[in-house]
Structure 1
């Protein structure tokens, strides 16, 4: 019986040593960190007290509008202490906000989801230049990177936007999106009818 207990004790020790330390990179909505999935399991497997982490994160992001995705790095020490590093929201978030859209397009080469001006690009680049990973890049390089990101979202970069025309564009776009949503729903229902 004692040999059995000793082997179990060794297995438990190796299990404790397998706890992952190092860095965890994830996007967490500002002020909305909760112990549930997906954040809870990621922190739990690293041995971090989940409720304490959620309180710390929500306290650090209390001055930011709730729900804004915040790229977060968590450095976990072997003694289960941690250090939270929060950076500015991703450039996709800023571009979608500037364009007034909630999602990009599925096919960016054929469709336009929204539009932003070069002034928007410059202002977003000035904000992103304060990020740790972009602080040594020139503003021009960051602007080029943002234009590429905008293209991949289906956001068109223009010199000027007429507000009335753009409002009409967004209304027409929402009608197209509603029609597409109905088509997808009908397609799903027809597949379900075939399988049953």
Structure 2
């Protein structure tokens, strides 16, 4: 049985590789991050569950390091302040958790990554609205259809799958490529391992 799941994962990656438009949109998201960092801005991430883990992972690749020992970049996953998250969820409802933090943190020219395999997570949609209002570039990482997030964002990275684990694997793959390309453009080519 593991063989079938590995084959399914490979099939999704092959579909990504064949999708020139999707790869072009990844390049656009990368360029937006590079421009934001060069201008002294920040990149924010939000998502729920596995998407929250991916958001935190990608923020850490940018704020810590990817390949190079270099200065940190201002990137943060919005769910890491659990006191804020639980207070807002308690006082306003969980649908407002990311939108309130987006309103507090985001400035014109920043980039907000919205991770939702379905593209329909209410709190992520609310963050998109808040990010748009703040003048941010919005990048969504979703599954095949893009859900309700699709029409709200500037760049849609919709993995060609309806299977949540395969979608999240695609998010991490493309997220790693983005982080590597941002780092290379801003700080130079990494040394071979």
TM-score, normalised via structure 2 length: 0.25
Relative contact order, higher structure (CA 8 A, sep 6+): 2
Question: Over alpha carbons, which structure has the higher Rg?
Answer: 1
Greater per-residue helix proportion:
2
TM-score, normalised via structure 1 length: 0.25
